[in-house]
Structure 1
Amino acid sequence: MATEIERKFLLRGDGWRGLADGGTAIRQFYLAVREGLTLRVRLREGRPAMITVKTGAGSARGEYEYPIPPADAAELEAARIGLVVEKRRHLVPLGGLTVEIDVFGGALAPLVVAEIELPSPDHPLVLPDWIGTEVTADRRYANAALALKGRPDAREAD
């Protein structure tokens, strides 16, 4: 089983922008979401379409990814639940790790979230000052929740 160990943060300021690459456009949508399981299709500029199954909850989850033909991804989009998540992912080096900064577009703009994949749950992490509040345990910031329920601060304003 492939395991993804990831921590997620909101950002404070734009101090990361001068350190980031130009970013990659991503569109993703969900076919199934339930406690402990998500089924997602992702289209990333310059890469094959992928179908991903994630299991479990929290910072360490099972993750299984498989390439699918673009035509299949286009057909599956008709069966999606929730919003299509549109974002531009920027990569910023952080020691031997990489910070993935997702700048959301569409209905989820202006949300910006940083994710850091770790080699182990207890891996030490020294954060730069532009990384703010940790939201790893806040399910409202999971991409599946964003697709189904929208941006957390937009929901709180209603």
Structure 2
Amino acid sequence: MPDPLPTRARLVEAALRDAGIPGEIVVLPDSAATAPLAAAALGVEVGAIANSLVFWSDDEPLLVMTSGAHRVDTKALAHRLGRQKIQRATPDQVRDATGQTIGGVAPTGHPAPVTTVVDRDLASYDQIWAAAGTPHTVFPLTFAELVHLTRGTVERVD
């Protein structure tokens, strides 16, 4: 029987296992490319969705794992991080940095490590959900697991 997980989701699954994170990848019948879609499909609050947003900052990619209930204030975040500017990455920059496409970017499974910021407000949820490399795949984890997995800096992002 063929593996039901897409190739990108299998890379995420391998990274989860390597990091000791037990969450199983769930394949959803409909796209969960946005936080509201993912929350509706999973029956959770939109804030419990860990959006993976890729930005470009100081000539490098920056992954911001933000609560689905927030918008990233790029100017304030750049100031907090001591960066010149943070701007949305282009679809090509997202694909080059993560190997994944917008709407399915996971916090892991990338060709090389990506500097990551984790929204501190995700800590208020016992369980959060993140994309698993495609718009149809997600996985559960805790805030502590997300920080461990990404080696991210915990920060306010809104």
TM-score (norm 2): 0.30
TM-score (norm 1): 0.30
- Greater strand share, 1 or 2? 1
